[in-house]
């Protein structure tokens, strides 16, 4: 799974063959197919491996005060992206966005699995945005659920643009902080 995660991230899903994954992980094809009847099952396992890392980071700030919890979102995403940049020498994308973009129209089980994860993350982010709204931090008229969706979308788009533009990973949490700042009440932002 770790070998596949690395190969998918630095290339793409379709361009990496099962034989190549087995060679990189030093396992036989027979054992591979025992654990992953189809290549799509491997994609789902790789997604869950990355998802565990994101969950752990998002849950870390669950009990922080509302403002700290809100700004912990860019920090969590930034930490993951800086980690990839450190390992691979450049921004290589979000594992969920990469596989979602490549496979949503072709591998419906992968698409549905990612969609359920995105929904659960929007739910987590929405809970944080709702706490910020209840604490009077957000601009009047800000819908916490819509802001949560916008944060996830902006993270995905900013990561993709950084990958294509070869921008430093640090630009990603910075853009998310700007998005949050735009939604703060005037007296909080000032």
Q: Which residues bind a copy of itself (CB under 8 A)?
A: 10-12, 14-15, 90, 92-93, 97-98, 100-106, 111, 114-115, 118-119, 139, 141-142, 146, 149-150, 152-158, 160-161, 163-166, 175, 178-179, 181-183, 186, 189
Q: How far is CA 148 from the centre of its chain?
A: 13
Nearest distance from residue 86's CB to a copy of itself, in Å? 16
Nearest distance from residue 54's CB to a copy of itself, in Å? 15
- Closest by CA to 40, choosing from 99, 125, 117, is 99
Query: Cα–Cα distance between 123 and 113 in angstroms, integer?
Result: 16
Helices (H), 63-107: 66-88, 95-103
Minimum CB distance to a copy of itself smaller for 128 or for 158: 158
Nearest distance from residue 80's CB to a copy of itself, in Å? 16
3 state DSSP class of 184: strand
Q: Compute and round to an integer the Cα radius of gyration of the chain.
A: 18
Minimum CB distance to a copy of itself smaller for 28 or for 157: 157
Nearest distance from residue 21's CB to a copy of itself, in Å? 16
């Amino acid at each position: 799974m770790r070998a596949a995660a690395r190969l998918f991230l630095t290339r793409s899903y379709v361009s990496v063959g099962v034989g190549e994954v087995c060679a990189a992980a030093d396992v036989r094809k027979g054992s591979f197919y025992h654990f992953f009847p189809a290549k799509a099952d491997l994609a789902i396992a790789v997604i869950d491996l990355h998802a565990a890392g994101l969950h752990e980071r998002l849950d870390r700030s669950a009990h922080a005060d509302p403002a700290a919890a809100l700004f912990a979102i860019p920090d969590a995403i930034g930490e993951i992206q800086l980690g990839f940049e450190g390992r691979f020498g450049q921004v290589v994308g979000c594992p969920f966005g990469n596989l979602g973009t490549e496979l949503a129209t072709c591998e419906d089980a992968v698409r549905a699995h990612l969609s359920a994860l995105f929904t659960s993350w929007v739910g987590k982010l929405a809970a944080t945005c709702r706490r910020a709204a209840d604490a009077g931090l957000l601009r009047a008229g800000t819908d916490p659920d819509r802001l949560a969706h916008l944060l996830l979308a902006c993270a995905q788009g900013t990561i993709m643009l950084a990958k294509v533009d070869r921008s430093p990973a640090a630009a990603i949490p910075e853009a998310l902080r700007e998005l949050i700042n735009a939604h703060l009440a005037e007296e909080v932002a000032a």
